[in-house]
């Protein structure tokens, strides 16, 4: 086996869930993207286990996706209900994913669906009543006014079902009965268009389509009405595309908000505030904000992976009978070191350096005291052999905890003199780095 080793590390997505909660871990995976593919490449040697892990990850990602999708609809519906007169349906607060079970997520989605159905039915009803108010109610006194003015005059009273409405009139005394019927059909078509507009359309967006519908109702000939209906349908399609993009942005923002909820950093506050605006449909998710949000999600993932690896190493080493000291020194924010030794070891210890940036774990048995006699050399080999046995068990425990490993460098016990570590070097980071460089050649 080895007295010195370098091991590549890949942490499976579900392993991060062990730190944040599987629901939150799945949300982070969705926010960062591409995790399953990268892990799959590293795990292809364990195909059966990878298939099981992939299926489990897919289940959690699907559940997280259902939650964030409903969160987005809740935010957009709440914004749309703000323009409706009177009290509206009560919507739940968006759910923050953490350590919920799959059953809890499914139950919350069912409750959210009921509330969203009520909210969207309310918004749809308001849209239908407003369309009828515009297209079937003549302006007071029959005065010639613009469609925008008609819309403004009828908006408030259309929010409640009208008791009576005047019959629509067709201008032009020379129009034939068939022409009147054709015009009426076009007006009815315009009304149907207004009634099926997306519930999340803003007042300004809806007004643009309403103006086009009013022009259909004001047409003096069938040809004119049909031409205006074509324009109305084009505007409807453009509006649907805008609403679809808004929903996509809201979904993406909701995913990022789930990940950034676990980021305790003042710099993330404005990013979260901007994402809330996107989720509510009040601003688009531009490339700059998306990049900032993705970076924050990666920070959350990396922090969770570091915490998981640290906790796994500490627990495993202590379970193998080692006394472990952590935080003795930190080389950089991406590299930390653990020092492990058995109770009977007076002149030896194991230095484990975790390089998160490169995904490596380097382990080295070192001498901390004594001399260079023959007896000391034999003791060195004995300690290295003890560590080799422990290293096999450590690797197995890491794999069981979701950390995939690949040993890339080994040094057999006794193959070279054991490095001696003097305390005088501990306060000199440059000397320590140089010594480590020589050890790992």
pLDDT at 17: 63
Supply the pLDDT for residue 206.
82
**In a 10 Å sphere around its CB, with 0-12 CB exposed, 13-18 middle and 19+ buried, how is residue 436 labelled?**
middle
pLDDT (0 to 100) of residue 136: 56
Average predicted confidence (pLDDT) for the chain = 75
pLDDT tens column, 354-389: 887 777 888 889 988 876 676 788 888 888 888 888
| Complete DSSP assignment for 307-356 | HHHHHHHHHHHHHTTEEEEEEEEEEETTEEEEEEEETT-SSEEEEEEEET
| Helical packing angle, 177-195 and 222-260, nearest 10° | 0
The pLDDT value recorded for residue 240 is 93
Do 15 and 403 contact (CB within 8 A), yes or no? yes
Cα–Cα distance list, 384 to 346, 380, 413, 415 (Å): 14, 6, 5, 10
pLDDT at 289 over 90: yes
**How crowded is residue 153: how many other Cβ atoms within 10 Å of its Cβ?**
16
> Residue 219 is inside which H or E element, if any?
none
Banded model confidence at residue 18, pLDDT cuts 50, 70, 90: low
Answer for the pair 406, 7: CB distance below 8 angstroms, yes or no.
Answer: yes
pTM above 0.95, yes or no: no
**Sorting pLDDT into bands at 50, 70 and 90, what band is 343?**
confident
Q: Which two tokens stand for residue 85?
A: 């007169």
DSSP readout, 66-81?
HHHHHHHHHHHHHHHH
Average pLDDT over residues 79-98: 84
Q: What is the mean pLDDT of residues 308-312?
A: 82
Structure-token match 């959690």, residue found: 60
Q: Which of residues 3 and 187 earns the better pLDDT score?
A: 187
Strands (E), 262-308: none
d(CA 268, CA 274): 10
Structure confidence at residue 262 (pLDDT): 85
Q: What is the pLDDT of residue 357?
A: 76
Amino acid 377: pLDDT: 83
Report the SS3 class of residue 364: strand
> Which residues, 6+ apart, have CB-to-CB distance to 371 below 8 Å?
none
More confident residue, 330 or 290: 290
Q: Is the predicted pLDDT of residue 257 greater than 60, yes or no?
A: yes
Greater confidence (211 vs 43) lies with 211
Q: Three-state DSSP class for 10? A: strand
pLDDT of residue 331: 37
Q: Determine contact, residues 410/2, Cβ cutoff 8 Å.
A: yes
Q: Where are the domains of the chain?
A: 4-10+304-439, 21-162+174-294
Nearest-angstrom CA–CA distance, 301 and 323: 29
Cβ proximity of 24 and 258 under 8 Å: yes
pLDDT at 48 over 90: no
Q: Is 48 helix (H, G, I), strand (E, B) or coil?
A: helix
Rounded to an integer, the average pLDDT of 395-401 is 80
Choice among 85-89, 326-330, 410-414 with the minimum mean pLDDT: 326-330
Residues 348, 383: contact at Cβ < 8 Å? yes
Q: Distance between CA 31 and CA 29 in Å, rounded?
A: 5
In this prediction, residue 301 carries a pLDDT of: 84
Tokens representing 335 are 């590299």
pLDDT at 304: 82
Report CA-CA distances (Å) from 87 to 78, 329, 432. Answer: 12, 60, 68
In sequence order, what are the residues at sequence separation of 6 or more whose Cβ sits closer than 8 angstroms to the Cβ of residue 247?
A: 72, 73, 76, 200
Kind and range of the H or E run holding 372: none
User: pLDDT class for 16, splitting at 50, 70, 90?
Assistant: low
The larger pLDDT score, comparing residue 402 to residue 391, is at: 391
Beta strands in 226-334 (DSSP E): 322-332
CB 356 within 8 A of CB 302: yes
């Amino acid at each position: 086996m080895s007295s010195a080793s370098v091991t590549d590390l890949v942490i499976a997505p579900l392993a991060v869930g062990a730190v944040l909660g599987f629901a939150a871990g799945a949300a982070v995976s969705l926010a960062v993207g591409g995790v399953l593919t990268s892990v799959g490449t590293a795990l292809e040697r364990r195909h059966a286990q990878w298939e099981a892990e992939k299926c489990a990850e897919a289940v959690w990602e699907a559940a997280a996706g259902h939650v964030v999708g409903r969160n987005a609809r809740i935010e957009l519906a709440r914004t749309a209900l703000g323009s409706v007169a009177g009290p509206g349906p009560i919507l739940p607060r968006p759910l923050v994913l953490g350590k919920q079970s799959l059953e809890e997520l499914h139950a919350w989605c069912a409750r959210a669906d009921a509330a969203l159905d009520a909210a969207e039915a309310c918004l749809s009803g308001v849209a239908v009543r407003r369309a009828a108010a515009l297209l079937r109610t003549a302006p007071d006194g029959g005065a010639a006014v613009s469609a925008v003015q008609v819309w403004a005059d009828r908006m408030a009273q259309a929010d409640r079902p009208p008791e009576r409405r005047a019959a629509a009139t067709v201008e032009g005394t020379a129009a034939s009965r068939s022409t009147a019927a054709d015009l009426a059909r076009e007006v009815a078509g315009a009304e149907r268009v207004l009634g099926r507009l997306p519930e999340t359309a803003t007042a300004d967006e809806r007004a643009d389509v309403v103006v086009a519908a009013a022009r259909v109702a004001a047409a003096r000939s069938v040809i004119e009405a049909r031409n205006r209906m074509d324009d109305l349908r084009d505007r409807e399609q453009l509006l649907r595309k805008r609403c679809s993009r808004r929903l996509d942005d809201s979904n993406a923002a909701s995913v990022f908000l789930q990940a950034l909820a676990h980021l305790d950093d003042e710099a993330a506050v404005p990013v979260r505030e901007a994402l809330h605006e996107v989720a509510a449909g009040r601003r688009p998710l531009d490339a700059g904000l998306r990049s900032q949000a993705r970076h924050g999600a990666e920070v959350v993932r990396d922090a969770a992976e570091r915490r998981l690896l640290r906790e796994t190493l500490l627990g495993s080493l202590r379970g193998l009978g080692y006394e472990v000291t952590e935080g003795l020194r930190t080389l950089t924010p991406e590299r930390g070191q653990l020092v492990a030794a058995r109770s009977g070891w007076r002149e030896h210890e194991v230095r484990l350096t975790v390089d998160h940036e490169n995904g490596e774990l380097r382990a080295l048995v070192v001498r901390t005291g004594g001399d260079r006699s023959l007896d000391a050399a034999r003791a060195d080999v004995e300690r290295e052999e003890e560590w080799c046995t422990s290293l096999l068990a450590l690797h197995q425990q890491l794999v069981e905890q979701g950390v995939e490993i690949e040993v890339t460098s080994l040094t057999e016990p006794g193959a070279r003199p054991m490095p001696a570590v003097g305390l005088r070097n501990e306060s000199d980071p440059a000397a320590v780095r140089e010594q480590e460089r020589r050890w790992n050649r």
